[in-house]
Every structure is written in C-alpha cells, then in structure tokens.
Amino acid sequence: MAEKKYLIKQISIFSENKPGRLAAIAKALQEAGVNILAFSIAEANGFGVVRALVNKPDLAHTTLTDIGFMVSFTDVIAVAMRDEPGGLFEIARILGEAGINIEYSYAYSGKDGAVLILRVDQVEEGVEKILAAGGTLLDVSLFQ
Amino acid sequence: MWDPRAEEMPATELKRLQYRLLKTLVYRLYSFSDFYHARMREANVHPDDIRTLADITRLPFMYKRDLRDNYPDHLFTATQDELVRYHVSSGTTGKPTVVGYTANDLENWTASLARSLTACGLGRGDVMQVSYGYGLFTGGLGMHYGAERIGATVLPSSTGNTERQIELMQDLHVTAIACTPSYLVHIGETAEKMGVSIRDDTDLRIGVLGAEPWSEAMRTKLQDALGIRVYDIYGTSELSGPMFTECTEQNGIHLWGDLAYPEIIDPETGESLPAGEKGELVMTVLKKEALPMIRYRVGDVTVLNDEPCACGRTSPRIMRIQGRVDDMLIVRGINVFPSQVEHALMEIPEVVGSAFQIEVDRKGALDSMLVRVEMSPEAFSDKITDLMQIRGKVAHTLKSSLNVAAQVELMAPGALPRFEGKAQRVIDRRVY
C-alpha cells in the first residue's frame, strides 16, 4: 500500500514522574548513537509518556528496554508546514476539512521547514484524507 | 510418611501426649526460668493448676519483647556448654534476638522438617537448592539439615547471584528449591531474560516457599508460570526456624502435635478463639530445651483448622498466614493487611501483583494510602487515557477489596525493589 511509506515508527516510553527519568532516557540513547529528531512529554498525575521520533527506532527500543524502561511503538505521520505565520493554520484547516481526529500531536521546526507530527485514530485512512485535501506528508525515509 | 506413628496419632492419644509434655514443660520453666517463674507468680498460677490441656489458657503469654529485653541469653534454660548452635534474628523490627539450640533442639527441628518435606512429596533422589540465606538466619541451615535427613541431595546455594543459581539448577538437575516467594518470582524473571524456561529447560518440580507472606493467587501464578508445585512453609526463629509445611493437598500447614501446640486468640483481648476464626497465632513449643516457648505471641494472623486432612495426617493445620498483627495498618479506622492488597492486585492482569509498595501518610486529620504497582509490559499503551483507565481499575479493585480508598501510582516493570529476605512493602509516614 502506498500509504505505508508515510507511516513513521514513534517510540513511546513510560516514565514515572520523578526527576532524572528523561535524563536517563536521553543518556542511554546518546550512548547507543540514536538521534532524537523530535519528542514530546505527555503527563498525567504521577506518570508520563515520553514520545520520540528517532533515526533508529528498533535500536532505541532495545536499548531502553534493556535498562528497564517500558517501551512501545506507535505509527505516526508527519505533515510538512510552511515555517512562517499562518503555516499551522493552513495545515489545521486541511485536517479539519479532511475530518481528521487528532489524538495527540507535536511539532518541530527544522532547517528544511516545520513539521507537525500527528497521531490519528485510523492512520491509513488519515493519510489518504490529508493527501486528498492537499496536504504534504513526509516520507518515512527522511527520518528512519 | 516420615514418622507415621507421630503423624497419624489419633486425636485422643495426641491430646494426652500434649498434656504430659505441657505439664513437664511448665514444671521445668517454673523451676529453672527466673523469668517465667516470676511471670507465673504475677499471673497467680502454679504448675499444679494445669490439670488438663485446656488449662493452658491460664498460663501467661510470652512476647517478642521478652526475648529482646532478655538479650542475649537470659531466657535460656540450658547452659552454654549444653548449646551446640546460635541463630540471631535479623532485627528488622527492633533489637536482634538470639536463639540457642541444644543437640535435642536441633534434632527435633530437623525431624519436623523431615516429616514436612516428605509431606511435600520430596525424598531420596531429589536435589534441593536451598536459596535461603545461610548464617545467622535460620532458613538456610534449617532447610539444609531437613533436606539431608530425608536423603535428598542439597545444593546450598544461599541467596544472591541469581544467574549462577539458574545455571546450577540446570547443570545439577535440581528438582526442588527452598526460597522466599518473591525470590522465586525473581528467579523466574531472570531465567526468562537468560532465555531459560524453568518449565522446559530444568527438572524443577517443587518449590518450598516461606519467610514472607504470600497468597493463593501468587501460588497459582507461580505454578502456572513455572510448571511446578509450590508449598507454603511456616516457622520463625523463636520456634527454631522453618518447621512446618503443607502436604501435597495444599490445604493448610500441618503443625506436628507432638512438637507444638497452637492456639488462636483475639490480639486485642487475648481471649482464645475457636477453630475457623481468624486471629493471632500463639505457639507453645512442647519439647524445646534451650529456649522454651510457652504461649508465644507469634504475631502472625491465621485460622486454625482441626478437621482431619485428606492426606491422613491428624495434626491440626493453620491456614495461610494473612498478615502480621504488627503489619496490620489501620487506615481511617479500617484494618488493612499488605496481603489483601497483593491478593487484589493479582486479580488485575494489567499489573504485576507481586510487585507493589504501600505508602501511608496523614494529611491534616485524614489518613491517605498510596499503592505503587508495576504494570505488565503487555498492558502498556501510548495513550494517556488507556493508562488512566488501568489506574482507575486498580483503584476501584483496591477500594472494593479493602473498604478504604487508595491512590494508585503506576510504575514501570522492575521499578520497585525485589527482596531476597522478608519483603518490606509498607512505608508508614504518619506522625501521631
């Protein structure tokens, strides 16, 4: 299926809400030579989930599991945004028109433009709808 | 059976024997123990007042603090040259206590374990790995001599270096292990990481588990996960050490009636409770020479069962220990035992029921209880709402089983400490 090439493997890491957990994750990834492209922290009372796009997701998974972290993979998609005023609005309008329900999202602005990372419910259907509404999706090979 | 005459003794004959042994013991203590003599005088009871076995309730209790107050050996009724060994308790709940043993004391201890291990289906041809600590703790040496007595081959591996323990288990075709339940869980987890299946890659068939409270749910889980049968063992250093186990019926721990006389009392009033009612275990050790124990308040909460057992043994049984009188937490006026928390958590597949911690605190006038529990890796979802749902489920299950609300904190697998000795699961931060 053509949409497959837009599915990016995000790693999600369970973390207790206490100082030093993020440092432990980042240090382990550094030592394994894994580059973090984007990340976010979702927090609830008492715990959090660290979500990250990395260049080597399988290596990151093994590395973190070995030191006791609970890790899972989730498919996300990356939408290209213009890095100027109105960039987010343009994408948000496309998503709205496409009827996409966002579970969570985070963004980063890199040297090749801004990118919005999305976790949507029906990911393959979401890809089709975004493309049909005129959105630009980034190919997984750009990341991993 | 190891000793059929003792193990199958008819109830009336056993009661006569117990009465004779009790009467002798009381006379001995009244004559030779300044401590117990004074305590009997205080209670206004003389050995002549003990005319039936039931008169035991007229005798004063002995407490853990009596051993501590008389540290190290002031309660002994044997002189040092008659002693062949000392054991010293860990002192986790206060000052350590010292137990001395005469040659007869060791013999009775070993004989008790020989009967018990035989009742678990062990014997000549078995290889038993003793993964209790050797040394001052009674677990290692006690099990060691008990297993040797029945002709099993003992692997005295003690605690620690779990990977090596698993290698030896494979290489020496170990068939039975004696350790704490939490350590067996740890062995199972470690074996899995090493790519070793206890079920398929070892000859292990029996576990004899004790020295900390555990539950029926944990038994089922261990038996299913490892493909072995696990039995509960009971004892404390004051009674000699690990002494009594379940038989293959797995329905209560046989207390050999010619060695021990159990009672169950209400811990608040000291009144005796009938068989079947939950209360504090009180033990009289009928044949101890160096450190005799009469009506010793063990502090463990259990139920006495004097129905005959399907295995044919006539001695009374105690059912699984449900907690410690002094572990019992009173949270907002409600009695909570850590074992109840464990039992409730075992019902929830999304968490690891054996890995938990309870923290009690007080905010203003109100007690608050926090339960930390490890999640099963399979249950981990990237969505916060899923995790909140699991937490809600745990909180709901705890509330309905304990009758008191608990906050719940989800932890990553392996985040909570594992204990190779007695599991310390409760942190009480309340200041009164």
Q: Is the pLDDT of residue B422 over 80?
A: no
Would residue A64 count as lying in a domain?
yes
Cβ contact (<8 Å) for B414 and A15? no
Which residues, listed in sequence order, are joined to residue B1 by a DSSP beta bridge? Answer: none
Nearest to B145 by CA among B209, B237, B241: B241
A70 and A85 both lie in a single domain: no
End-to-end CA distance of chain B: 53
Among the partner residues A12, A44, A68, nearest to B412 by beta-carbon distance: A68
Length of chain A: 144
A interface mutation test: which of B382, B389, B410 has the most A CBs within 10 A? B382
Cβ contact (<8 Å) for A47 and B410? yes
Where is average pLDDT lowest: A71-80, B92-101, B366-375? B92-101
Would residue A1 count as lying in a domain?
no
A64 and A93 both lie in a single domain: no
Q: Is B394 on the interface with A (CB under 8 A)?
A: no
Burial B200-233 (b: 16+ CB within 10 A, else e): eebebbbbbbbbbbbbebbbebbeebbebbbbbb
Contacts of B384 in chain A (CB under 8 A): 42, 44, 49
Which residues, listed in sequence order, are joined to residue B278 by a DSSP beta bridge? Answer: B303
pLDDT (mean) for B350-377: 89
A62 and A82 both lie in a single domain: no
Q: Is the pLDDT of residue A133 over 70?
A: yes
Share of chain B above pLDDT 90, in %: 76
Contacts of B391 in chain A (CB under 8 A): 46
Q: Which pLDDT belongs to residue B423?
A: 59
pLDDT (mean) for A50-57: 94
pLDDT for B182-240, tens place per residue? 899 999 999 999 999 999 999 999 999 998 878 888 899 999 999 999 999 999 999 99
Count of C-beta atoms within a 10 Å radius of residue B62: 23
**The last residue of a domain, from among A29, A52, A74:** A74
Band (pLDDT 50/70/90 cuts) for residue B48 is: very high
What does the alpha-carbon distance between residue B55 and residue B19 come to, in Å, rounded to a whole number?
9
Q: Which pLDDT belongs to residue B91?
A: 59
A70 and A83 both lie in a single domain: no
A10 and A70 both lie in a single domain: yes
Would residue A18 count as lying in a domain?
yes
Q: Is the pLDDT of residue B129 over 90?
A: yes
Q: Is the pLDDT of residue B399 over 70?
A: yes
Q: Are strands B260-265 and B278-285 parallel, antiparallel or unpaired?
A: antiparallel
Under 8 Å CB pairs connecting chains A and B tally to 45
Share of chain A above pLDDT 90, in %: 47
pLDDT (mean) for B263-289: 92
Helix/strand/coil for A4 = helix
Structure tokens belonging to residue B370 = 């926090």
Chain A, residues 52-111, CB within 8 A of chain B, namely: 68-72, 74, 103
pLDDT (mean) for B167-173: 98
**The last residue of a domain, from among A29, A50, A74:** A74
Fold of B329-428: GMP Synthetase; Chain A, domain 3 (3.30.300)
Higher pLDDT, B262 or A124: B262
Would residue A101 count as lying in a domain?
yes
Length of chain B: 432
A24 and A68 both lie in a single domain: yes
A62 and A105 both lie in a single domain: no
**The last residue of a domain, from among A48, A74, A100:** A74
Minimum Cα–Cα distance from B388: chain A residue = A44
- Does the bond joining B308 to the residue before it have cis omega, within 30 degrees of 0? no
CATH number of B1-325: 3.40.50.12780
Q: Which pLDDT belongs to residue B96?
A: 83
What does the alpha-carbon distance between residue B281 and residue B301 come to, in Å, rounded to a whole number?
6
A40 and A52 both lie in a single domain: yes
pLDDT for B77-93, tens place per residue? 999 999 999 999 865 55
pLDDT (mean) for B107-118: 98
pLDDT for B12-46, tens place per residue? 999 999 999 999 999 999 999 999 999 999 999 99
Which residues, listed in sequence order, are joined to residue B280 by a DSSP beta bridge? Answer: B265, B301
CA angle B287, B293, B295 (to 5 degrees): 115
pLDDT for B237-256, tens place per residue? 999 999 999 999 999 999 99
Structure tokens belonging to residue A7 = 């599915």
What does the alpha-carbon distance between residue B361 and residue B241 come to, in Å, rounded to a whole number?
34
B41 CB-side CA count, 13 A: 8
Cβ contact (<8 Å) for B382 and A16? no
Band (pLDDT 50/70/90 cuts) for residue B94 is: low
| CATH number for position A130 | 3.30.70.260
Q: Which pLDDT belongs to residue A88?
A: 87
- Whether residue B327 contacts residue B426, with contact meaning beta carbons closer than 8 Å, is answered with yes
The interface pTM score, or ipTM, of the predicted complex is 0.84
* Min distance B184 CA to chain A CA atoms (Å): 20
Share of chain B above pLDDT 70, in %: 97
Domain that holds residue A84: 77-142
Q: Which pLDDT belongs to residue B250?
A: 97
Boundaries of every domain in chain B: 1-325, 329-428
A69 and A81 both lie in a single domain: no
A69 and A105 both lie in a single domain: no
A83 and A133 both lie in a single domain: yes
Q: Which pLDDT belongs to residue B46?
A: 97
Cβ contact (<8 Å) for A68 and B410? no
Among the partner residues B380, B409, B414, nearest to A46 by beta-carbon distance: B409
- Whether residue B199 contacts residue B168, with contact meaning beta carbons closer than 8 Å, is answered with no
| CATH number for position A50 | 3.30.2130.10
Q: Which pLDDT belongs to residue B126?
A: 98
Q: How many domains does chain A have?
A: 2
pLDDT (mean) for B85-108: 87
Structure tokens belonging to residue A23 = 């440092």
* Contacts of the segment B33-37: beta carbons below 8 A, 24+ positions apart: B33/B75, B33/B77, B33/B292, B35/B66, B35/B70, B35/B74, B35/B75, B36/B60, B36/B62, B36/B292, B36/B294
Q: Is the pLDDT of residue B324 over 90?
A: no
A60 and A14 both lie in a single domain: yes
pLDDT for A73-98, tens place per residue? 999 999 998 888 988 898 888 888 88
Structure tokens belonging to residue B359 = 């923290």
Mean pLDDT of chain B: 92
